[in-house]
Copies of this chain bind each other. A is one copy, B any other.
Amino acid sequence: MSFSEFKPLNENTLIEYIQSVPSLSSILGNNFSDLSVKEVGDGNLNFVFIVSNSTGSFVLKQALPYVRCIGESWPMTKERAYFESLALKEEGRLSPDHVPEVYHFDRTMSLIGMRYLEPPHIILRKGFIAGIEYPLLAQHMSDFITNTLFFTSLLFRSTTEHKRDVAEFCGNVELCRLTEQVVFSDPYKVSEYNRWNSPYLDRDAEAVREDNLLKLEVAELKSKFCERAQALIHGDLHTGSVMVTRESTQVIDPEFAFYGPMGFDIGAFLGNLILAFFSQDGHADQANDRKGYKEWILKTIEDTWNLFHHKFTALWEKHRNGAGEAYLPGVYNNPEVHLLVQKKYMTDLFHDSLGFGAAKMIRRIVGVAHVEDFESIADAGKRATCERRALDLAKMLLKERRKFEGISEIVSAIKQF
C-alpha cells in the first residue's frame, strides 16, 4: 500500500503506515506482534488512534476533510493538521512541560504522531465532572498561557518575525471561519446548528438573539478575532483541550491556532472554568455536595489570572530591553510611563479575556457544540437552572466587562449568580 496521497487510516492500514515510518516504528522497537491499536477520538473533528506495545506508545491523530461530529455535510480542510503540527511544535518549544512531543508529521496524510498521554491522564473536563481537584492546574495553565502568548507577541519579537508568522498562519483560515461561525455568529441568529435545553431555555435562547447590546459587544470581539494578530493563540483552549493528572497538565489540539487576540485563549480557559463551576450543582449528591469543590474552582479561576498576570509582567520586565518592538526602551524607559503602558495593556487584556470568555460560555449553551459539564446532568430541569445561571452571568460579563478591574470582582459576581 502506498501513502503518497491522502487516505483515511483504519486499524489495519495504520499498521502498514507505521511500518513505513522509522521515527514511529522505532518507538515500538520495530515489533508489531503485540501491538494494540485503539480509536479514541471523542473530539468534534478528528480520528485519534492510540498505538502501543510492550516497548512504547504514541498517538496518531488524523484530520479528515470534514467535521467529524457533523459528518461529511460540513467539509473542513484537512490542512488543519499542518497548522496543528506547527502550533504543537511552537508551543512545545515555548512551554515544553505542558505540550506533548511531536514525533512525526505527514502533510499528505494530515497525520500527526505524538506522545501518548498515558493514564491516569484524563481530559480536564471529565475531571471537573468527577469533582477532582488539581492542585497545580492554575500554576501549569498560567505557565502555558504566559509562555505561548508572551513569546509570540510584539513584547518579545520584532515585527519582521511577527509578520512572517502571521502570514503563515493566515493559511489556517478555514478553522478561523469555523470559530467565527460557531462562537460569534450562530448563537445570535436562527441557525440549523443551534440547540439548547428545550423547552426550558427557549426564551433564553430567543433573548440572546434579540439582545442588541449583546450583539454590539459580540461584533467588537469578532472584529478583534478576525483582524487583530496579537500573538500565536491556541484558538480552542477549553477544558476539553487539556489533559491532566494531579502532577501533569498537557495542552493538546491546537488545530485552531493562528495569530489572534490573546484574550481569546485566556477567556476560553476561564470561561470553561466558570461553566464547570455552574455545572457543579447538577453533579452534587448526598455523598458530595460539591461546595468545597466549587470553592476550589473559584480559587483556580482567581489563581490562573493572577499567576498569569504576575508571570506575564515578570517576562515583560525581564525582556523590556530585548528585541520586542511594541514598547521601545528609548521611548518607554522612564518608570512612570512604563507602568502606565503596562497597566493599560493588562487592563485591556483582562477586559478582552472577560469578553471572549463570556462569548465562549454563551455559545456552549445556545450554540452547536455543548459541554459535557452540563450535558451529563441527567435531570433536564436541574440542568436548565445551572445553564441559565451561566448564561446570565456571561451576558452580564460581555456587556459590563469594562467595569471590572480585577479577577476577585469576577469571582464575587460568579458567587452572586
Interface residues, chain A, CB within 8 Å of chain B?
A: 154, 159-160, 162-164, 166-168, 170-171, 173-174, 176-177, 180, 185, 188-191, 212-213, 215-216, 218-220, 222-223, 226-230, 325-328, 330-332, 334, 336-337, 340-341, 344
Q: 27 pairs across A/B with beta carbons < 8 Å?
A: A154-B223, A154-B227, A159-B176, A159-B177, A159-B180, A160-B177, A163-B170, A163-B173, A166-B166, A167-B168, A167-B171, A180-B325, A188-B331, A189-B328, A212-B337, A216-B344, A219-B327, A219-B332, A219-B341, A219-B344, A223-B326, A226-B325, A227-B228, A227-B229, A227-B230, A228-B229, A229-B229
A162: chain B residues within 8 A (beta carbon): 226
| Additional pairs, 18, CB under 8 Å, beyond known A215-B337, A216-B344, A228-B228 | A154-B223, A159-B176, A159-B177, A159-B180, A163-B170, A164-B170, A164-B173, A166-B166, A166-B170, A212-B340, A215-B331, A216-B340, A218-B331, A219-B326, A219-B341, A222-B326, A226-B326, A228-B229
Q: What is the minimal beta-carbon distance from A230 to any residue of chain B, in angstroms?
A: 5
Q: What is the minimal beta-carbon distance from A173 to any residue of chain B, in angstroms?
A: 4
A163 vs B164: C-alpha distance when bound (angstroms) = 13
A168 vs B170: C-alpha distance when bound (angstroms) = 10
Asked if residues A216 and B337 are in contact (CB atoms below 8 Å), the reply is: yes
A325: chain B residues within 8 A (beta carbon): 180, 226
Closest to A229 in B: B227
Copies of the chain in the assembly: 2
Picked from B176, B215, B226, B334, the residue with its CB within 8 Å of the CB of A212 is: B334
A191: chain B residues within 8 A (beta carbon): 330
A340 vs B170: C-alpha distance when bound (angstroms) = 30
Per CB-CB distance, the 10 closest pairs between chain A and chain B, nearest first, are A189-B330, A167-B170, A212-B337, A163-B170, A167-B167, A163-B173, A188-B331, A189-B331, A219-B341, A227-B229
Closest to A191 in B: B330
Asked if residues B159 and A216 are in contact (CB atoms below 8 Å), the reply is: no
A154 vs B162: C-alpha distance when bound (angstroms) = 22
A173: chain B residues within 8 A (beta carbon): 159-160, 163-164
